[in-house]
Amino acid sequence: MTILINKQQRLASRPAAEPTLDNFRLAEAPVPELAAGQVLVRHHFLSLDPYMRGRMNDGKSYAAPQPLDEVMIGGTAGEVVASRSDRFAVGDRVVGMGGWQQYQVIDAAQPGMLRKVDTAHVPLSAYLGPVGMPGVTAWYGLVRIIAPKAGETVVVSAASGAVGTVVGQLARLRGARAIGIAGGPEKCRAVVEELGFDACIDYHEHRDARSLAAALKSACPNGIDGYFENVGGVILDAVMLRLNAFARIAMCGMIAGYNGEPIPMAAPQLILVNRVKVEGFIVSEHMDVWPEALTELAGLVAHGHLKYRESVAQGIEAAPAAFLGLLKGRNFGKQLVKLV
């Protein structure tokens, strides 16, 4: 009997500041035989996401730290290749939190561990992007927190990322203006021409809050009604200077401080002056909205009304370098690792 070998990426050490390749270790382990009620999933795609950076630390946060010398946590999409459960059949396409590895053995009776998906009209990889956690994150922050009205202006930072690309398109579909902030002329051009944003500002050209605020004034002549925050720092300071009264801010990420950098706000008094609603959220704490969000997102993707891009690295060996590139903004859209 042939023994399957499972290649894995494990967390070898915690980063002192900026993570490096040395923080990861490629390991191999045999795939165990299935017990009754278990299934074996072969992962086709691994999702890389900014939240993983926070889990590499051992400090207090909204999620437990990634344990050392264990498989890195991460979302996966793949196929059931063996089953001893009546809940899943060989060939089922599934998504779950299989981690940075090629295979996973799962107890099929555990609720929420594995979800069947229909790939007839939505590609398997999209269930890790616009029809997965990033898409629902965008949907919740925009629909439930910003709640834009037709004619209002919504700004989103990291507009070329997996979450930001969806935020702007959903805002446009609801009749709002969508203004992106992204790094580099190529990304900004694609955000407007491919994804349909009204404008996109290149923050590489505006290194301080005043300069960026001036660019926002030009792109948002009627001010900013909603802001979807993924970055923090100077970008947040610039947006604060252009907010309208009763603006809403959905706080999704603060990547400017992921390596321990301080990220003070320059003018927090503007929250009071403009009576701004600021709400942070973790999408996994709002599972009640997932069915509604996923139904809308899947329909939009299936009918071509929600466009998306993927940056794809090849092989489990490439995962650490791809993840470090994601943290540097080298991806456009969803960062994936293809494992088959």
Q: Directed axis angle between helix 290-302 and helix 164-173, to 10°?
A: 80
Q: Given a cut of 60, is residue 286 above it in pLDDT?
A: yes
Two tokens, residue 243: 């907010």
Spell out the domains of the chain, with CATH numbers in brackets: 5-128+309-338 (3.90.180.10), 133-284 (3.40.50.720)
Q: Dihedral, CA atoms, 290, 296, 298, 299, nearest 10 degrees?
A: 160
Of 19-28, 48-57, 179-188, 255-264, which gets the smallest average pLDDT?
Answer: 255-264
Read off the pLDDT of residues 90-99 as tens digits, 9 standing for 90 and up. 999 999 999 9
Q: What is the pLDDT of residue 193?
A: 98
Read off the pLDDT of residues 299-333 as tens digits, 9 standing for 90 and up. 999 999 999 999 999 999 999 999 999 999 999 99
Q: Given a cut of 60, is residue 1 above it in pLDDT?
A: no
Two tokens, residue 54: 């926070």
Two tokens, residue 250: 């959905």
303 neighbors 131 (Cβ within 8 angstroms): no
Q: What is the pLDDT of residue 229?
A: 98
Mean pLDDT along residues 5-32 = 97
Instruction: Find residue 312's DSSP bridge partners.
Output: 336
| Rounded alpha-carbon distances, angstroms, from residue 212 to 67, 103, 302 | 39, 46, 36
Q: 321 or 258, which is more confident? A: 321
